[in-house]
Amino acid sequence: MSLTDCQKKLQFQASRRSTREMEELMHLFLQRHLTQLSQDDCEKILQLLDWPDVQLYDWITGLQSPPPQVDKELINWIRHP
């Protein structure tokens, strides 16, 4: 199955994070879910990756709660791939 443009972009951005920890978290998530992501989910994750890695890491690992404007279900999905 070939990847959509959004999935390719997500794969690229997820592999070039500013921290190794975030690269590893995103790698695990995408390894399991990339080919099944809908266009909408893919776009939501790309928007999420606009946040600084330090904050994302804290949210995904549960060290901090994400702000109200961040989709908590999406964070939980990435947390428990």
pLDDT value at position 1? 65
CATH code 1.10.150.250 for 5-79:
yes
Are residues 38 and 30 in contact, defined by beta-carbon separation less than 8 angstroms?
no
- The pLDDT tens digits for 48-77 are 999 999 999 999 999 999 999 999 999 999
pLDDT band at 8 (very low <50, low <70, confident <90, very high): very high
pLDDT digits (tens, 9 = 90+) for 10-45: 999 999 999 999 999 999 999 999 999 999 999 999
Where exactly are the structural domains of the chain? 5-79
Query: Model-level pTM?
Result: 0.90
CA distance 3 to 9: 10
